[in-house]
Amino acid sequence: MQDQGTRASRNVLIQAELVDLLRDGLRGQLAVAAQRIASADERPDAREHPERFQDPLRCMDALRALMEDIGWSAPPDDPRVDPRIDLRIHGWALTEALREQVSVHVDMLRDIDHADERRATVARDLNALSILALTVLLRTHADTLRGASPRAGPG
């Protein structure tokens, strides 16, 4: 039987201020997958190799599924937005969206020359994104270790 700690470790709560940033990351990754499909389609032998489309389509499906769960544009405090993300279902898409946004925010910080309100906002968002990314990675790793261990956690 599964204990409460194991179930809780599979879910991560997205803070309201990160929902729009996460959506931005998901849209960015959807664009990357779309570019991969366009590149596969431009190849002269595209019709003979439909398998080239499978990976980017799977990526798009996973990214869209997470976007559906958090809502495409609803305000973060909207009751239709579920801020609890099941890592078993959405772990990959969440990690990709976070990776995208952390990278974007690092680049933005690098491009802001002087300390001002904009820099402080970007730094705050980057810190929150980094904490969430670390939480996701640690929980995912803990589940991996729990599955590999002869004992399923404390008990």
pLDDT recorded at residue 97: 96
pTM (predicted TM-score): 0.80
pLDDT recorded at residue 93: 96
Backbone angles phi, psi at 85, to 5 degrees: -110, 125
Print pLDDT tens along the chain (155 aa). Answer: 344 445 556 899 898 889 999 999 999 999 999 998 888 777 787 677 767 778 888 999 999 999 998 888 888 777 777 688 999 999 999 999 999 999 999 999 999 888 789 999 999 999 999 999 999 999 888 877 776 655 544 44
DSSP states along 19-76: HHHHHHHHHHHHHHHHHHHHHHHHSTTGGG-THHHHHHHHHHHHHHHHHHHH-SSS-T
Q: Angle at CA 84, nearest 5°, toward 99 and 14?
A: 45
**Number of other CB atoms surrounding residue 78 within 10 Å:** 12
